[in-house]
Structure 1
Amino acid sequence: MKYRKLGSSDLEVSEVSLGSWLTYGLGVEAEKARACLDEAFNQGINFIDTANIYGRGAAESFLGEALRERPRDSYVLATKLFFPMTETDRGLSRAQVEKQLDDSLRRLRTDHVDLYQCHRYDWDTPLEETMEALSRAVQSGKARHIGFSEWPADRIRASLDLSRDRGFTKFVSSQPQYSLLWPEPEKEVIPLCAANGISQIVWSPLGQGVLSGKYDPESPPPRDSRAASAEMGGFMDRLMRPDVLRAVQRLKPIAAEAGLTLPQFSLAWVLREPNVASAIIGASRPEQVQENAAASGIAVDQELFSRAEAILNEALADARAE
């Protein structure tokens, strides 16, 4: 496993990290989830990402229990806030940052998180209030660093201005969706962040499993797959189109030319971008963790990546046109 520096922070994170969206505490049995976590550490993964909203606290509670016997300095722990936890608890106000961070720490059974992230931008709270609250969280020692997920470029710029002009703590990470199936961050977010000491920690680098190549466009999804799960498959409609699935199948021979499985090839594509510090994987079986972790440190001929991009761009253009 290779490691990369997270933005302007002092954190070194594994190129492949383990996430818990739709899986731990919710869609995956505790015993299997613990086996995935153990395998992650076996593979050198040191970065664990979660959020308060995952299972309404269930993912954090699972991790708090599963990690409690491990030395706290042996892993980098990140969580998030924004989405509604109750009818009244949501957003990035000063009160919510304080309340949700304390609640997350209690569930995670720790006195601090290494990275505290704004899960989305809060248009109902002044950015200055959010930045001040996050700065207080860092000053208190409850969060070592701060980040955001899926913020538009103009809001990232505004946060940088406030950090410079008001002395607020500066963001060190961005967590966008980024994959061969969704290269959008390359347009604005990645260049902006790269110029300002902010690294990407990308989610869904395998397109929620579609880039594993396991979905046959002519057959129903495997019964044990995410797409077949009522708990985990609800966000996959756009990616499960037959034309997209057929295009993904055409990537398998290209991955084989590189001596890789398709998931490894897809992760290597994400990690070819220097501004990406880590690619978050979701796993329901330890073998998936092992296979995906092997993508770290792999160099692939750019010509192979270009061929894969061309195939998917054609399919995705057709999908957008309809």
Structure 2
Amino acid sequence: MIDVALGAMDFGTRVDEATSFRLLDCFVERGGEWIDTANCYSFWADASGVGGQSEEVIGRWLTSRPQLSDRVRISTKVRQQPTTPHVWPESAEGLSAEAIQSAARASLQRLRREHVDLYWAHAEDRGVPLQETVEALAALCADGQVGRLGASNHAVWRVERARHLATDRGLTGFTALQYRHSYLFPRPWAPLPDAGHMLLTPEGLDYATSEDLELWFYTPLLHGSYVRDDRPFPEVYDHPGTTKRLTALDRVARETGRTRNQVVLAWLSALAPHVRPIVGVSTVSQLEEAMDTTDLAIETRHLLDEAI
């Protein structure tokens, strides 16, 4: 089984609480460990115009299943929560020390936990001195609210600078990176249809591998486009390279008896030593498909790698 994280972005909004509970139960029963969310999920899908719905559902699930508390790890994020309902990104909380401290307290309250295992800076905030952000995040680790730190949607040079600041001051720094990544690539320089998303670059992959950092990939299955005719690939993926890679993907799927989704997840999981795709699902069957993914043989991976 590939080590996937359960993406809980839609829990409490597009995915109702009863379904969310079933998915969480199934994930743990199948051996899943990491649940990924954010304090801002999903403000755009809730009438309140602010986030917190996903964390609240997870918190209620954890409270109702105390026997599972030690079997799961929680990953959540700070940066994008609107401070004014329906006003984003203008009112996003940012990464000031005050914002980080307040957001962490609120996340823990919603999750009904005393600490989270991995806390992400959801995106950069260049309006705040990087040293202030680094020190505020490290303080959460020092007082036991947070286990580890990660950087999501950050330029590699900013990650390196932040890690240097932390090391120089003897503080806890980033040990995980999170980017959008899948088997298909959009056209170079084309803007993505999802605001705030940042793609993994070859430099980012090299940096994570060289520094022994975990890599988490979101939107790995492109919102179901690999397997659903009613969800065509976004226009930015319409180029000759996509045709070549889909041909290779279909060949490998046929030869291995797996679905496109499973082949994509297996390919992603072998890109670096520590990789965790985040899978967002709305049905148990979708989750079981992802959990049934296994490793690809080296010769099979070559077919996918060479389709450029």
* Class of the TM-score when normalised by the shorter of the 2 chains: 0.7 to 0.9
State the partner residue of 1:64: 59
Gaps of 5+ in 2: 43-50, 85-90, 187-198
Conserved in 1, the CA contact under 8 Å of 2:184 and 2:242? no
Is 1:301 the counterpart of 2:267? The answer is no
Is 1:92 the counterpart of 2:90? The answer is no
Conserved in 1, the CA contact under 8 Å of 2:205 and 2:272? no
SS of alignment partner, residue 45 of structure 1: coil
Runs of 4+ in 1 over 4 A off after TM superposition: 239-249
TM-score, normalised on structure 2? 0.83
1:263 paired residue among 239, 257, 261: 261
Change (3 A) 1:275 1:156: farther
TM-score, normalised on structure 1? 0.80
For 1:157 and 1:174, how far apart are their aligned partners in 2? 11
Amino acid corresponding to residue 74 of structure 2 in structure 1? L
State the partner residue of 1:26: 13
Q: What are the Cα deviations for residues 179-224 of structure 1, in whole angstroms up to 9, with x where unaligned?
A: 102495251112112222311011111122223x222xxxxx1xxx
The CA deviation at 1:25 is 1.2
State the partner residue of 1:233: none
For 1:242 and 1:24, how far apart are their aligned partners in 2? 34
Q: What are the Cα deviations for residues 5-48 of structure 1, in whole angstroms up to 9, with x where unaligned?
A: xxxxxxxxxx1110112x21111122222211111111110100
Conserved in 2, the CA contact under 8 Å of 1:202 and 1:278? yes
The CA deviation at 1:145 is 0.8
State the partner residue of 2:32: 45
Q: What are the Cα deviations for residues 249-288 of structure 1, in whole angstroms up to 9, with x where unaligned?
A: 6332321212311111010000112334311101111111
Is 1:275 the counterpart of 2:273? The answer is yes
State the partner residue of 1:201: 216
Q: Which of the pair has the greater relative contact order for Cα pairs under 8 Å at 6+ separation?
A: 1
Is 1:254 the counterpart of 2:269? The answer is no
State the partner residue of 1:237: 234
1:148 paired residue among 151, 154, 168: 151
% identity of equivalent residues: 28
Gaps of 5+ in 1: 3-14, 216-220, 222-226, 229-235, 314-322
Conserved in 2, the CA contact under 8 Å of 1:61 and 1:107? yes
181-190 or 138-147, which deviates more:
181-190
Amino acid corresponding to residue 305 of structure 1 in structure 2? R
Conserved in 2, the CA contact under 8 Å of 1:53 and 1:83? yes
State the partner residue of 1:11: none
State the partner residue of 2:88: none
Provide the alpha-carbon RMSD of the alignment: 2.3
Conserved in 2, the CA contact under 8 Å of 1:268 and 1:300? no
Between Structure 1 and Structure 2, how many residues are aligned?
Answer: 279
The CA deviation at 1:308 is 3.6
For 1:210 and 1:310, how far apart are their aligned partners in 2? 22
Is 1:35 the counterpart of 2:22? The answer is yes
For 1:238 and 1:307, how far apart are their aligned partners in 2? 25
